[in-house]
């Protein structure tokens, strides 16, 4: 009987050594490559400081739409007065295999200095995608900015939270939207 247990234990040990380890969680996709930015002066220019509520950088919008040639763009909406932006039509339901354009928009109202746009895609608590775009030359008070990312629709189906944020100095601000992967 001892010999049978010994042989069984040896067989299980050998099987464990050649069996693949459980799959680790996939790391989040990085969509930073190819990101680009747009900027323009804020209508009315910089505002007076209000350090009690924010430190001069304000995230104003995050959008998700199917990739569309020529947009996003600044001051490009035909027939509209400046300032304006052109965006892909925002969508909620997207299918696997499609490509999206996700943009994040902010104002540097009183802040001048380094600034970085971040993008996070989450399904539940799991981060499934990220992107970063450091604005060349930083942000300058009195200007509006946008960072544009090309993103493959996530491979997992379900509700996906899209968070656009901007950071610079003591500043941090964010906005959220959602997509549903079909």
Asked whether residue 137 is domain-assigned, the answer is yes
Other residues' Cβ atoms within 10 Å of the Cβ of residue 138 = 15
Instruction: Tell me, rounded to whole angstroms, the distance of Cα 141 from its chain centroid.
Output: 24
- Would you say residue 123 lies in a domain? yes
Mean pLDDT computed over 107-116? 92
CA distance 114 to 139: 6
Q: How many domains does the chain have?
A: 1
The pTM of this model reads 0.82
9 pLDDT band, cuts 50/70/90, is very low
> What is the percentage of the chain residues whose pLDDT exceeds 70?
83
Domain for residue 2, yes or no?
Answer: no
Please indicate, yes or no, if residue 9 is contained in any of the structural domains: no
52: pLDDT confidence band, cut at 50, 70 and 90?
low
pLDDT, tens digit, 9 for 90 and up, residues 63-103: 999 999 999 988 888 899 988 899 999 999 999 999 999 99
Boundaries of domain holding 151: 24-181
pLDDT digits (tens, 9 = 90+) for 36-50: 999 999 887 777 665
Assigned domain for 16 exists: no
Task: Report CA-CA distances (Å) from 87 to 62, 70, 104.
Answer: 11, 9, 11
Domain assignment of residue 116, yes or no: yes
Q: Is residue 39 in some structural domain?
A: yes
Average of per-residue pLDDT across 144-164:
95
Residue 151 falls within a domain, yes or no? yes
CATH number at 91 reads 2.60.40.770
In angstroms, the Cα distances linking 79 to 7, 29, 76, 86, 104 are 82, 38, 9, 12, 24
What's the pLDDT score for residue 51?
A: 57
Rounded to whole angstroms, the Cα distance separating 129 from 29 reads 4
Q: Which residues of 159-177 are buried (b: 16+ CB within 10 A; e: fewer)?
A: ebbbbbbbbbeebebebeb
Above 70 in pLDDT, residue 19? no
> What is residue 171's predicted lDDT score, i.e. its pLDDT?
87
> What is the C-alpha separation between 174 and 60, in angstroms, rounded?
8
- Tell me what the mean pLDDT of segment 43-63 comes to: 77
């Amino acid at each position: 009987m001892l010999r049978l247990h010994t042989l069984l234990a040896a067989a299980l040990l050998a099987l464990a050594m050649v069996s693949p380890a459980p799959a680790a969680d996939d790391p989040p996709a990085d969509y930073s490559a190819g990101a680009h930015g747009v900027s323009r002066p804020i209508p009315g220019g910089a505002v007076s400081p209000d350090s009690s509520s924010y430190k001069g950088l304000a995230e104003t919008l995050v959008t998700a739409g199917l990739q569309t040639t020529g947009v996003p763009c600044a001051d490009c909406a035909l027939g509209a007065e400046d300032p304006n932006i052109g965006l892909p039509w925002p969508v909620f339901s997207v299918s696997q295999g499609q490509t999206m354009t996700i943009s994040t928009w902010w104002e540097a109202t009183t802040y001048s200095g380094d600034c970085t746009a971040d993008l996070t895609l989450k399904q539940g608590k799991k981060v499934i995608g990220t992107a970063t775009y450091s604005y060349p030359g930083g942000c300058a008070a009195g200007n509006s900015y946008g960072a544009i990312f090309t993103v493959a629709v996530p491979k997992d189906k379900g509700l996906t939270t899209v968070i656009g944020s901007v950071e610079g100095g003591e500043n941090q601000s964010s906005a959220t939207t959602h997509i549903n992967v079909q």
